[in-house]
Amino acid sequence: MDIFQYLEEMQEDVFLLSVSQIELKYYDICRTLASSEDAERIKLIPLDSYKESMRIGLKEALEIAESEEAKAIYFEYDLDNEWDSQFYICDDYMFLEEDEDWASDWTDEIEGPSLGELADIYGENGFDSDKKAVGITLYLIARTVCSFISACSGLQSNIPICIGFHDQDPIMRTGRD
């Protein structure tokens, strides 16, 4: 299976599994494709302050989105640049399986957190150059997505909230349309 097939599967996992089940699944995939040491190294990175920063940014993004009657919030992180992130307030939104250009047409942005530790591990192997890179990248993405889902929990909104790495297509939805 290539990395994009795994990412499609991860979208379904977001809809069907708990955060802990997703983390465990991609930990196991990383262990299988890379190594137990790589999986454990990623697992041990503390994400509490990262999640809290996401939550703060998301609250601000929701306030702006609701006041502007925006259609969606898109959280984008950059694998290649210290895991830098932004929250984009979008005037448009398309359902999963449709055109993702809506995410490029934003009206406001809020700076999100960075996480150099994840970026450093990613930088050692790249995106999908071999099985090891695929396993590591998937687990890094899964930990990011799970942190984001955790940051979203308890926040009330009817606005679709999405997440993706820079240039990801399709973008992941945190809830079904």
The edge-to-edge listing of strands for the beta sheet with 106-111 is 106-111, 85-90, 72-77, 161-165, 172-173
Q: What is the pTM of this model?
A: 0.95
pLDDT for position 177 = 63
Burial class of residue 153 in the structure, from the number of CB atoms within 10 Å of its CB (0-12 exposed, 13-18 middle, 19+ buried): exposed
Residue by residue, what is the 3-state secondary structure of 140-158?
Answer: HHHHHHHHHHHHHCCCCCC
Tokens of 16: 């069907």
For CA atoms 31, 36, 41, 44, the dihedral sign is: positive
Which DSSP helix (H) or strand (E) runs through 168?
Answer: none
What is residue 159's three-state secondary structure?
coil
In angstroms, the Cα distances linking 51 to 46, 109, 133 are 10, 18, 25
Bridge partner list, 172: 163
Tokens of 157: 């909104």
pLDDT for position 138 = 99
Q: Which candidate, 171, 177, 118, 158, places its Cα nearest to that of 11?
A: 171
d(CA 30, CA 23): 10
- Dump pLDDT digits (tens) for 117-175: 999 999 999 999 999 999 999 999 999 999 999 999 988 888 999 999 999 988 999 98
Residue by residue, what is the 3-state secondary structure of 83-124?
Answer: CCEEEEEECCCCCCCCCCHHHHCEEEEEECCCCHHHHHHHHH
pLDDT for position 3 = 96
Range of lowest pLDDT (18-22, 50-54, 154-158): 154-158
Range of lowest pLDDT (21-30, 33-42, 91-100): 91-100
Average pLDDT over residues 29-41: 98
More confident residue, 98 or 61: 61
- Dump pLDDT digits (tens) for 73-123: 999 999 999 999 999 999 999 876 667 788 888 999 999 999 999 999 999
CB count within 10 Å of CB 111 equals 12
pLDDT for position 98 = 67
